[in-house]
Amino acid sequence: MDCSQTHRNLYPYLDRQIEPAKKKSFESHLGECPDCYGCYRFHFHLRDCLKKIYRHFELPPSVLRCLFKRVAGGPP
């Protein structure tokens, strides 16, 4: 898996929706690429923050999903 594939799979991974076949290759790339690992840590914490916001304001899951996508730079 290269950097761009890793970025594409970041949110599926965090959502635990990554295909099992890709999971290993994703994790091994994180282990050897400090850039992707940094990005992963950033989004991991960001996601944590958004979860807390979500609990606090009780945003509907659709809004939350949209927020995640915006932050991840994907299409709305």
Helix, strand or coil, per DSSP, at residue 33: coil
Q: 46 — phi, psi (to 5°)?
A: -60, -45
Q: Is residue 33 at the binding interface for Zn ion, with CB under 5 A as the rule?
A: yes
Helix, strand or coil, per DSSP, at residue 71: helix
Q: Is residue 3 at the binding interface for Zn ion, with CB under 5 A as the rule?
A: yes
Q: How many residues bind Zn ion (CB under 5 A)?
A: 3
* Nearest CA among 53, 35, 45, 58 for reference residue 14: 45
- Which residue stretch of 25-33, 41-49, 51-59, 62-70 sits at the interface with Zn ion (rule: CB under 5 A)? 25-33
- Which residue stretch of 19-27, 29-37, 48-56, 65-73 sits at the interface with Zn ion (rule: CB under 5 A)? 29-37
Task: List residues near Zn ion by CB under 5 A.
Answer: 3, 33, 36
